[in-house]
Amino acid sequence: MAATGGRRCRRLEGETARAVLANVDTLLFDCDGVLWRGEAALSGAPAALGRLAAAGKRLCYVTNNSSRTRVAYTEKLRRLGFPPAEPRHVFGSAFCAARYLRQALPPGAAAYVLGGPALSAELEAAGIPHLGPGPAALPGPAPADWAQAPLEPAVRAVLVGFDEHFSYAKLCQALRYLLRGPDCLLVGTNRDNRLPLEGGSAIPGTGCLVKAVETAAEREAFIVGKPSRYIFDCVASEFDIDPARTIMVGDRLDTDILMGNTCGLTTLLTLTGVSTLEEVRGHQESDCPARQGLVPDYYVDSIADLLPALED
């Protein structure tokens, strides 16, 4: 794909693919839309990752999904036929959010959580007291009741992840904690506004919930997940990562590719998920530096396209 003056995006194939893969030690994979859709592995993806692992490449999984724990991801990889992975190779936004709060909060401080069981489990594993997961009801019939419900004194952070029980009651409680002062942190797992489903439909993503809390609190959240550099820093703290020898593989320009470009990684877009080549062309032809940051170095139709370059 020719560029008009900014970044250039090329199909990764043939000798170029062999040369690129020979010069990398680590590949970071997004999961949904890259390795699988729902509960089905994408055709050829397990075989491609199997050959990468056999070639001695380090495989890590970097996902904004906060509704699964690291252990749950390793179990899904095994179930769908991918190479065995340890929890330490999985960097989900739930785990990374717990890691951030463990570093940022004083000892004994708690978090008010808008999120599900996986986020709660990762916080528990990190030793962070928390409350909030699950359904919540307004504490009375009038706004005066809502503004006087008891607050937990130890709460020093509001953490927003994917929460199927998100409600006005939870939004009220989150705001009340944040109004206690700037010492109460506001943290979001990611800003993904829409989660695509099979057949072209979609559901609201965590970004919608983060935006609601930000709007009420008139504050901006610290975002843990892609495109934030923080989630890559989590990987780099666990492994000796050389950005010049690392590829970020993803299906979204505004998360996977932007994070990879920001962190100095080689970026590879796979067309089995959200973003399209038409979007890449639009960004590539723009004079806007921010849009140039959304252009990947390479693209493939699917991860299976890497298989010929991995043959002995």
**If you count DSSP H runs as helices and E runs as strands, how many of each does the chain have, helices first?**
12, 16
Which of 178, 226, 176 lies closest to 66, judged by CA? 226
Known binding residue 30? Answer is: yes
Flag whether 211 is marked binding. Answer: no
Residues with catalytic function: 30, 32
3-state helix, strand, coil in the chain (%, to 5): 40, 20, 40
* 32 assigned ligand-binding residue: yes
Q: Is 305 annotated as a binding residue?
A: no
b/e per residue, 187-211, with b = 16+ CB within 10 A? bbbbbbeebbeeeeeeeebbbbbbe
Specify whether the CB–CB gap between 294 and 258 falls below 8 A. Answer: yes
User: Nearest-CA neighbor of 23 among 34, 32, 33, 15?
Assistant: 15
String of DSSP letters for 110-163: EEEEES-HHHHHHHHHTT--EE--S----SSSSHHHHTTS---TTEEEEEE---
What's the CA gap between 254 and 226, in Å, rounded? 8
Do the beta carbons of residue 23 and residue 266 sit within 8 Å?
no
CB environment 279-303: b (16+ within 10 A), e (fewer): bbbebbebeeeebbbbbbbbbbebb
- Provide the annotated binding site for Mg(2+): 30, 32, 251
Residue set of the binding site for substrate: 226
